Amino acid sequence: MLGPRIACIGECMVELREQPGGLLQRGWGGDTLNTAVYLSRLGACVDYVTALGDDAWSDEMLAGWTAEGIGTGLVHRLPGRLSGLYVIQTDPAGERRFLYWRDSAAARRLFDHLDPHALAAFDVLYLSGITLSILDDAARAVLLRALDDARTRGAQVVFDTNFRPRGWPDPAAARRLYDDLFGLAHLVFASTEDLALLHGDAGEAVLLRHAADTEIVLKLDQPASRVFYAGTEHRIQAAQIDDVVDTTAAGDSFAAAYLAARLRGAAPADAAHAGHSLAGVVVQHPGAIIPRAAMPQPACLQEAPP
């Protein structure tokens, strides 16, 4: 693979999907890991940066990422630790609800073991609000310094808001950290839902005050997005999907396709079309990671709908 080196920083968990009759089907997923998988499938050069346990399920995750072409040189294995776990429940419309078991997950201790200077090898650093939420204050400070160093040396910082209130006992701390990231990031993926949870009715205004210096993709509460770049704004309408099965990883796959397109030189509006196209495929399958055979070709994702 050629092109910029991307580091996706965060947490992957064991995924259990509820099946009829009370059965559970096991896989793995996590917002930044999902994005890493889809980036790799779209031809990007991507590493995943996290910590895992030393158990058999962590072995399985690592092998799966390697099979996907994801670099794992910065995956730390912590003896005696386990990965987090979540259960996906979906309603008849395909909307999902998550139940988490992650308080002692290995990924929370990532910055006890990761040398932040190792991130200097990458051209793009991608993280999310969930990445921030699993770290303690000391680890967040280390990460913010690494991101600031990345900007100084010319690397890009990409931030996906992915706000989960249960991960933030102190909402004020979340608002401060998110504002720090809005100022640090070159590209922000946000949603109106996340911004309302963070700031109420003022959420969009808080983000858009950074629009002069930051590329912003704002996903709406309907199949559409607004893209702000270099003083311009585009509204991108997504195709209507009638057979939604599971909305898990819709935003993660959108971010992957958008970022992959932009790194190939696509205009922001075309990149948003690519994001919506891939997300539209992903929501027609259960779980975070769709079968490789179901992936559309990158060239198809670049085409705006007629």
Q: How does pLDDT run along the chain (306 residues), one tens digit per residue?
A: 568 999 999 999 998 988 888 899 898 999 999 999 999 999 999 999 999 999 999 999 999 999 999 999 999 999 999 999 988 887 877 677 888 898 899 999 999 999 999 999 999 999 999 999 999 999 999 999 999 999 999 999 999 999 999 999 999 999 999 999 999 999 999 999 999 999 999 999 999 999 999 999 999 999 999 999 999 999 999 998 988 988 889 999 999 999 999 999 999 999 999 999 999 999 999 888 999 999 987 655 655 554
Q: What is the pLDDT of residue 21?
A: 85
Q: What is the pLDDT of residue 132?
A: 98
| Amino acid residing at 126 | Y
Q: What is the pLDDT of residue 306?
A: 43
Pairing of strands 232-237, 224-229: antiparallel
Contacts of 22 (CB under 8 A, 6+ apart): none
Q: Taking the model in full, what pTM does it have?
A: 0.94
CA separation for the pair 150, 32 (Å, rounded):
18
Alpha helix locations (H) across the chain?
31-41, 56-67, 129-133, 137-152, 171-184, 192-199, 203-208, 250-263, 268-282, 298-301
> One of 31, 160, 252, 270 is an active-site residue; which one?
252
Q: What is the pLDDT of residue 133?
A: 96
Domain ranges for the chain: 5-301
Q: What is the pLDDT of residue 302?
A: 56
For domain 5-301, the CATH superfamily is: Ribokinase (3.40.1190.20)
Q: What is the pLDDT of residue 108?
A: 97
Which of 124, 84, 79, 122 is closest to 101 using CA atoms?
84
213 labelled catalytic: no
Orientation of helix 192-199 relative to helix 171-184, angle to 10°:
130
